[in-house]
Amino acid sequence: DTGLEGGNVRIFHTLIARLITAFSTVIEIDPYSAEAYCERGRVHQWINNDFDAALEDYNRAIAISQDYTTALQLRPDDPEIH
């Protein structure tokens, strides 16, 4: 891609990578951060369309905090939600 569109796509992909890296860094510092797992899961699910990675992060968030309702609501494998 060239021009404005190609530049926008590269910027978008760079921002996604930075988001995932940022949440991964938080998880390295605090592996019990349910919020960091959940937010990284959101990036996987809603931006990358990577439902397997999202589900893994949501399940980890729920394992850390059984009542983490955000992760429970976002899990892509729950037929009652979607």
The continuous run of DSSP H or E covering 51 comes out as helix 51-64
Q: Which amino acid is at 59?
A: N
Tell me, what's the pLDDT at 82?
42
Closest CA to 15 of 54, 48, 51, 41: 48
> By percentage, how much of the chain surpasses pLDDT 70?
77
**Model-level pTM greater than 0.85?**
no
Helix (H, G, I), strand (E, B) or coil at 77: coil
CA-closest candidate to residue 61, choices 45, 46, 39, 82: 39
Greater model confidence, 21 or 9 = 21
